[in-house]
Structure 1
């Protein structure tokens, strides 16, 4: 099993040497570094580290804030390492995933990551609902226009196969089925409206 280190400073005016020296005293065989803000997701040193480590390896940092600028960023990075089966050790906070206390903290971080994901989903759902209430379209634009949906329905009623429809419109089978279902739903809505006398 390999012990690797990760060091980060935010600007060129700061030095990595102190972190690297401490990481070497922790038995790090290789050290990956970045000179950029921890808020950025595209840190090449961290990307190389994640690609390099294997299950059972240990990543050592001087402090957790080296992994990210915000708590969310730190937790996201820890989750990435944990999912890869990599242990974490933070010198300043005394965190060591190889110990019972460290494993307990790993569970807490995993719970926080799950909680953050749920909050993001809730915020996204609330934003979509608010947009729909204002009459705005949310999500991906439809692959077929309303006119094309009507054409799909007409061709299907005329005996055209699903395979031929996918070739003709250059879309997937799922898109064709969704278009047909949408057309069926529109017909039901129109028939219901007519039965209720709506629009007369």
Structure 2
């Protein structure tokens, strides 16, 4: 598709957690010629598809525009969702450049490679989840706490039961024990 003179270049960056930083991705995209004002991003897992930055970017993109990402896995990790996004990009006449993989979606080879890399990203994500589950199972088998620690000790639960039996309100019990009402409801569901 011919690129019009009003075509713009946009970038998208994503990190999975707030402990990570998008700085490296921003540097790479600006070095590749993407205007800093045209870079959108999210701090959210690639497995999540409700992303504000990506949604805003999709509204900005027009036929002939170019979307640049550092790597395809920045767009997402689910193969089915990646395929939908890539199909949308192609249908809208948007050019996609992935710098790490050297993918150019304007060619059949580029579209094929994008699908392969998306499959590999999904596979890698599945392996990470599988390893995490195996580590949790091993820890549980050894009697170790896994996941988030309980917010109330057994002593606090016992005291809460006694206070509730004495007709204290849940708000008052939670305040007395220094826990949230949600924690109290989680440990002692309402009848």
TM range (shorter): 0.5 to 0.7
Unmatched segments (≥5 aa) in structure 1: 7-40, 62-66, 68-73, 182-200
Structure 2 stretches lacking a partner, 5+ long:
1-6, 13-19, 30-35, 41-56
The alpha-carbon distance between structure 1 residues 76 and 169, as it changes in their structure 2 partners (threshold 3 A), is farther
1:59, distance to aligned residue in structure 2 (A): 4.0
Q: Spell out the pairing of 1:26-175 with structure 2 (5 A cutoff).
A: 42=21, 44-47=23-26, 49=29, 52-53=39-40, 54-55=57-58, 56=61, 57-60=65-68, 67=70, 74-79=71-76, 88-90=96-98, 95-175=103-183
Aligned length: 134
Displacement of 1:137 = 1.2
The RMSD of aligned alpha carbons is 3.7
Which one has a larger percent helix, Structure 1 or Structure 2?
A: 1
Give the greater-gyration-radius structure (CA). Answer: 1
Deviation at 1:166, TM superposition (A): 3.0
Kept in 2, the 8 Å contact 1:75–1:112? The answer is no
More relative contact order in 1 or in 2 (CA 8 Å, sep 6+)? 2
- Structure 1: 4+ residue segments shifted above 6 A: none
Return the offset for 1:91.
Answer: 7.5
Change (3 A) 1:100 1:146: same
TM-score (norm 1): 0.50
With normalisation by structure 2, the TM-score equals 0.52
